[in-house]
Structure 1
């Protein structure tokens, strides 16, 4: 199984910095409360001096969404949506300890962090422009057809595991109580993206080792080395 971005994505977004890792042995019976509080404090301090839309990480994604022909205040990247909700409500809904942790890390770094149940993926995931024949399953179980040209996370069976790049993940490969093995992808486009993604993935890998005794080896992908095999 592997993960990669298409050559067209690298061509059109040369500032992209993706950090990727696979994690095996995930369970739902760990406590992450103190870690959520830690990352929440970091996010709260940032939001005390600037709105989420003013953060350079979010501004870079807004420019990318505009380049894709999307209105960035209508379709927001996942980290902006999380920050927006966190600013308004002071907390995020609790879903699963791994998702809760990754959402908290996403808040702290203002960077989208996607988590996929690999048992629900066929052969690979490629971030690419949709051909128009992909199927996307919502969290409520409805199916959608992303239009040709939309950026999707697609597998070998033409299932779209995310729409509009970092806007919305699919319910098909969402983490469940029975999930054990996952693929985690963090992506950034801002000026200090490389240093921030390195710090984010190293920190998240440390959390995986401490909480689940996992042994992830995070990798930063580039246009010249775009594939992560796991």
Structure 2
């Protein structure tokens, strides 16, 4: 059995946070997504870029409220120099006129939801995860190699990250995914998360989670095995029996 667990050290920093979790099983490989499905996903991602542009109220990225809340969050734990939230990185591209392009069907779907709601969204391959996925402050030294990197970059003491029994899964909360557990075109079973540290956006978070699950079902044929909002009062969820 594997579980998703948000540890006490996370809630001590963000007592009112909510994390939407979707567990999808039996997703079809990217090459098996029908042409019309691929075209629909591409159009959704294009529209999401345009919607994100409308959400940006300032040309200075840090002055946009949906970014500022994460800038504040990242001041509460140790981070690698220059680390920013995943949603800031996506919105920065939109702001610079460099829209977020297609990567793979599953990633494109979660980027669509992330841009549409201006919330961090990510995904991991459940079959590559060893043991439970735990979100909390680490003592440092967790093994990690980021997507696209050729060298290891272990976690720092006092860093907030997702990790399993082998090492880090995603560093600095939602900054960078690791190669070991990242979703690929061949991933069949996925753990997807949507994060919010702003309690005023609870309804939007719930909508984003529902939309993410629906799109995975519709376009990738995935069965939604579990869907929940993780809170301090309900901090864990079984993700694999």
TM-score (norm 1): 0.91
- Spell out, residue by residue over 1:37-92, the C-alpha distance to the aligned partner (whole angstroms, 9 max, x if none): 33223112212x334433333221111111225599x3210011011012213421
* Offset at residue 189 of structure 1 (A): 1.0
Q: In 2, Cα distance between the equivalents of 1:122 and 1:198?
A: 28
Contact in 1 for aligned 2:18/2:229 (Cα 8 Å): yes
Question: Partner of 2:162: helix, strand, or coil?
Answer: strand
Q: Give the RMSD, CA atoms, in angstroms.
A: 1.8
Partner of 1:199: 207
Unpaired segments ≥5 residues, structure 2? none
State the number of aligned residues. Answer: 227
Partner of 1:124: 132
Of 79, 99, 107 in structure 2, the residue corresponding to residue 99 of structure 1 is 107
* Offset at residue 111 of structure 1 (A): 1.0
Of 162, 165, 168 in structure 2, the residue corresponding to residue 160 of structure 1 is 168
Contact in 2 for aligned 1:17/1:193 (Cα 8 Å): no
TM-score (norm 2): 0.87
Partner of 1:55: 64
Partner of 1:82: 90
Q: In 1, Cα distance between the equivalents of 2:75 and 2:192?
A: 25
Partner of 2:117: 109
* Offset at residue 93 of structure 1 (A): 3.2
* Offset at residue 214 of structure 1 (A): 2.3
Structure 1 segments, 4+ long, off by >4 Å, are 69-72
Partner of 1:68: 77
Partner of 1:224: 233
Q: In 1, Cα distance between the equivalents of 2:233 and 2:209?
A: 20
Partner of 1:28: 30
Question: Partner of 2:96: helix, strand, or coil?
Answer: helix
Q: Within the alignment, does 1:14 sit opposite 2:15 as a pair? A: yes
Pairing of 1:137-148 with structure 2 (within 5 A): 137-139=145-147, 140-148=149-157
Partner of 1:4: 5
- Do the aligned partners of residues 179 and 195 (structure 1) sit closer, same or farther apart at CA in structure 2, a change above 3 Å counting? same
Partner of 1:37: 46
* Offset at residue 213 of structure 1 (A): 2.6
- Do the aligned partners of residues 178 and 207 (structure 1) sit closer, same or farther apart at CA in structure 2, a change above 3 Å counting? same
Range moving further from structure 2, 7-16 or 88-97? 88-97
Q: In 1, Cα distance between the equivalents of 2:19 and 2:13?
A: 15
Question: Partner of 2:92: helix, strand, or coil?
Answer: helix
